Amino acid sequence: MTTRGQVERTAAIDRTGAGRGLATEPLPRLSERLYAARERKGVDLYRAERDTKIRARYLAALERGDDTDLPGAVYTKGFLRNYALYLGLDPDEVLLQWRTEHGRVKDVPAAIVARRPIPVPRKPMSVSPTVVVAALLVVVIVAFGVYVGIQVLRFAKPPTIAVSQPATAVSDVDGSTTTYTLQGTTLGGATVSIASPGHEQPFLVTAAADGTWAYEVDLRRGRNQFDISALDPATGNRSDGTVTLFITVPFLRTESAAPSAGLPANASPMLASPGALAPSASKRP
């Protein structure tokens, strides 16, 4: 077992000889650097052993540059890295110099990657009240422009009118039908006008928000005519065209028979008796 005095004397004697051998070299050897760094730190080998948990004999071998007293390359590199950090040296530079001095060229990295600086954290993005007010102003301007555009298109375009029931312009219904529900679509909120020749005033109905409308009209026997149009109350524009419908209700048989000659129109058609049509016997010559 190497005593404390032997370790110190061995390191001091080897340090003196190493110093004479390196007098002509521009840079000190790794062993010299380790010894000088420990001296600057002001600690002995046994203090360094307690701090680094590396045995003093291995630390002395590193400072002598003697690999014969070291356990192996893998352990030696671990000792060098920890010892360099303890002494305030760059561990990567120390390992590179050790590989170079011991002829371990294959262990030397092709290039030393410089350490990246720690990025400065970005300041959190803050939104100033001026930006918020400007964004709200832009939204209001855009919304107002869209509203104006819709109103311009609405004033320029008249409402349309369409009838979905009945499906055809001319239709017949059963003789017992007295009413019929007209249905269709137009502009939402528009006023639908349904005119009929038999009525002085047209029927008016307001379309729903989705543009649908419906109105029940009375039917007379025979042909019923309805002229349907739409009016936009907001703009005063009326639909370009008018939809005309014809709904025919058939007459009953008693109503369709022609009145007999010589009888009133409301009299029932009856055949006259032969006595009534022949002249009286007293009037014969």
Gap between the Cα atoms of 225 and 244, Å rounded: 7
Q: Please state, rounded to an integer, the average pLDDT across all residues of the chain.
A: 77
> Is the overall model pTM greater than 0.85, yes or no?
no
- pLDDT, tens digit, 9 for 90 and up, residues 3-15: 454 445 445 445 5
**Four-point Cα dihedral 29, 35, 40, 43, nearest 10:** 160
Instruction: Give the model's pLDDT for residue 19.
Output: 45
Residues of the chain with pLDDT > 70: what percent? 72
Instruction: Give the model's pLDDT for residue 49.
Output: 93
Q: Domains in the chain, start-ordered, CATH in brackets?
A: 4-107 (1.10.260.40), 161-253 (2.60.40.10)
Verify cis geometry, omega within 30 degrees of 0, for the bond prior to 250. no
Residue 93: pLDDT band (50, 70, 90) is very high
Query: What is the Cα 155 distance to its own chain's centre?
Result: 34
Gap between the Cα atoms of 205 and 193, Å rounded: 7
Q: Is the pLDDT of residue 174 over 70?
A: yes
- pLDDT, tens digit, 9 for 90 and up, residues 222-276: 899 999 999 888 888 888 878 998 999 998 776 554 454 444 544 444 434 444 4
Query: What is the Cα 56 distance to its own chain's centre?
Result: 67
| Residue 149 identity (one-letter amino acid) | G
CA end-to-end distance (rounded Å), the chain: 187
Q: Which residue has the tokens 């070291």?
A: 70
